């Protein structure tokens, strides 16, 4: 079993979901009391949010790059950035390390293509929906995403930062998100990307008007596959 390195804390609410999911997946696949070999460095999200608001993506890249390198030195054999938004700087983080960085956009695009989905609606932070890095990488991987209208993007962003990242899950906000989904479904969206690692706290991807793709679960699945894939093949042989 190879060691997974997690850059967490953005927010710690979703990092806890990563930890639980990865360990549950390992136990399910390996049996008994199996759990994951992993390391997590949880950053102070307040510092990262300040960089986001200031547009200091260079500073954020240096910060997360330092963390990734520390995880590698500590024994991590792959790295995950446990947030969609900070994949804006993923290539710069990956350049600091010699172990693989498992990219959340790449893994999500592969899941969408495998399911034959061609027009997914992206629900995420404003940075992820508007900065272009997500749409551009998806397009290069053969997936054309759509995003909500400007007013709805503000609603989604505020629910994420003001509520979910603070541990608040409100039925009224769930209803707002469902209304946004219905509007975009009427315009031709054929699936939903839960493109913020906290959104799985409020929306069940299996209980939506369109097929849902939870990026947190997809990312965790990829990490587990990396960690135990070779080991399982060897045991089977």
DSSP, collapsed to helix, strand or coil, labels residue 7 as strand
Active centre residues (catalytic): 83, 196
Distance CA 91, CA 94 (A): 5
Cα of 156 vs its chain's centroid, Å: 16
* Residue 79 CB coordination number (10 Å): 27
The residue whose two tokens read 């629910």 is 159
Residue whose structure tokens are 């998806």: 138
Write the CA distances from 160 to 53, 68, 145, 146, 150, integer angstroms.
15, 25, 20, 19, 16
Using the structure block, give the residue that is written with the tokens 């790295």. Answer: 79
The beta strands (E) that lie in 166-211 are given as: 191-194
Q: Which residue has the tokens 């991987």?
A: 141
Q: Which of 218, 213, 203, 90 is nearest to 145 (CA)?
A: 213
């Amino acid at each position: 079993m190879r060691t997974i390195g997690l850059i967490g804390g953005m927010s710690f609410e979703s990092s806890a979901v990563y930890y639980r999911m990865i360990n549950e997946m390992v136990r399910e696949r390996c049996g008994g009391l199996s759990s994951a070999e992993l390391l997590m460095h949880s950053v102070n999200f307040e510092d990262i949010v300040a960089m986001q608001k200031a547009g200091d993506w260079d500073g954020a890249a240096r910060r997360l790059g330092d963390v990734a390198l520390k995880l590698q030195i500590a024994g991590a054999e792959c790295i995950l950035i446990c947030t969609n938004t900070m994949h804006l700087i993923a290539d710069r983080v990956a350049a600091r390390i010699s172990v693989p960085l498992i990219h959340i956009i790449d893994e999500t695009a592969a899941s969408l293509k495998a399911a034959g989905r061609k027009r997914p609606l992206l629900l995420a932070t404003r940075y992820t929906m508007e900065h272009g890095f997500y749409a551009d990488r998806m397009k290069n991987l053969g997936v054309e995403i759509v995003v909500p209208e400007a007013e709805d993007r503000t609603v989604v962003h505020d629910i994420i930062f003001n509520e979910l990242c603070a541990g608040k899950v409100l039925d009224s906000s769930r209803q707002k998100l469902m209304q946004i989904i219905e509007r975009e479904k009427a315009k031709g969206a054929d699936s939903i990307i839960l493109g913020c690692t906290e959104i799985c706290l409020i929306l069940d991807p299996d209980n939506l008007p369109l097929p849902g793709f939870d990026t947190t679960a997809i990312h965790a699945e990829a990490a587990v596959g990396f960690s135990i894939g070779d080991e399982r093949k060897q045991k089977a042989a």
